[in-house]
């Protein structure tokens, strides 16, 4: 539940924030008649993401427990880790200019046939986040089933977390629509991005475990310790820690090495870049008075 809450909160905030910025700009420029076209683009994107996710879920369930599923989920772990890392750094670097870029795209859209073009802007923005969310959700299901659970049995808790995440994201989007630039969205994405990179590190460790089970990566394949006697991956707390942080009761040497190399390089690099940008912004700010 917790991983899907954070994923849907983060993706929901980004997608709904984009829609909120578009709607706010259209309202302030006197073009409320185009709201329905933005809504149409959002609806089409959500239908594509939901349909694709449902199809992928039903397809993979037919291979549950097989070698094909292990290979597919390994690819999903690696893809989700890569996309999570990329989007976290991308949003950090574009958060301050996102509103300006969207307004420019809206101006271009209204200049070349507004109805379809604005729907396409909304479709592209929300569709990208929706497809990313499908990948992350599948990775969460795989991680939960790999922790001693069942692929299909993880759906109700994941759906509850997703619903709560979307609900909170919509509240934040409404606040963005009402308050606009007064919210520190950069700080929000920094905190949530850091949490998601820890989640990505866990996915990477799961991918390493699968590769070693497939005998494709035999290096450092022996477990370093065994903590299953006091915290199993199949228990409530162990399941949360495994799905969200990559906890393993019997991690191999390569899992531990890869996990900490990723955490130190990705999270450390993220905050190092943040520290570099902060003094630059402060120096560029105009003096009061």
pLDDT band (50, 70, 90) for residue 24: confident
Output the pLDDT for position 261. Answer: 95
Q: For residue 8, what are its two tokens?
A: 């849907």
- Whether 183 has a pLDDT exceeding 50, the answer reads yes
Tokens of 195: 């949490």
**Of residues 66 and 282, more confidently modeled:** 66
**159-164: long-range pairs with CB below 8 Å, 24+:** 159/4, 160/1, 161/1, 161/2, 161/3, 161/4, 161/5, 161/8, 162/4, 162/5, 162/7, 162/8, 162/137, 163/8, 164/5, 164/8
The CA distance from 19 to 101, in Å, is: 13
Q: What angle do helix axes 67-94 and 185-213 make, rounded to 10 degrees?
A: 160
Q: What is the DSSP string of 190-226?
A: HHHHHHHHHHHHHHHHHHHHHHHHTTS--TT-SBS--
Calculate Rg over the CA atoms of the chain.
21
Percentage of the chain with pLDDT > 70?
A: 80
Q: What is the pTM of this model?
A: 0.73
pLDDT digits (tens, 9 = 90+) for 197-253: 888 898 999 999 999 999 999 889 999 999 988 888 777 788 778 877 788 899 999
| CA atoms lying within 13 Å on the CB side of residue 99 | 16
Report pLDDT digits (tens) over 84-104.
888 778 776 666 666 677 777
The rounded mean pLDDT for the chain is 79
């Amino acid at each position: 539940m917790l991983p899907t809450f954070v994923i849907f909160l983060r993706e929901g905030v980004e997608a709904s924030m984009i829609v909120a910025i578009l709607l706010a700009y259209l309202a302030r420029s006197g073009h409320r008649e185009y709201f329905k076209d933005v809504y149409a683009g959002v609806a089409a994107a959500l239908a594509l993401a939901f349909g694709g996710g449902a199809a992928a879920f039903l397809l993979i369930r037919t291979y549950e427990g097989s070698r094909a599923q292990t290979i597919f989920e390994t690819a999903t772990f690696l893809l989700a880790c890569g996309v999570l890392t990329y989007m976290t750094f991308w949003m950090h670097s574009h958060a301050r200019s996102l509103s300006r870029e969207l307004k420019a795209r809206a101006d271009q859209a209204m200049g070349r046939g507004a109805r379809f073009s604005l729907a396409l802007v909304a479709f592209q923005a929300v569709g990208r986040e929706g497809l990313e969310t499908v990948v992350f959700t599948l990775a969460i299901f795989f991680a939960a089933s790999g922790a001693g659970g069942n692929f299909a049995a993880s759906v109700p808790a994941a759906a509850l977390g997703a619903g709560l995440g979307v609900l909170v994201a919509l509240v934040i989007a409404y606040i963005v629509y009402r308050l606009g630039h007064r919210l520190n969205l950069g700080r929000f994405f920094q905190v949530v991005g850091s949490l998601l990179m820890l989640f990505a590190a866990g996915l990477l460790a799961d991918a390493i475990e699968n590769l070693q089970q497939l005998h494709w990566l035999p290096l450092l394949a022996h477990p370093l310790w065994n903590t299953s006697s006091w915290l199993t991956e199949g228990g409530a707390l162990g399941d949360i820690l495994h799905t969200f942080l990559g906890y393993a009761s019997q991690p191999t040497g390569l899992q531990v090495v890869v996990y900490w190399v990723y955490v130190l390089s990705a999270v450390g690099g993220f905050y190092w870049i943040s520290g570099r940008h902060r003094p630059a912004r402060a120096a560029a700010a105009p003096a009061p008075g």
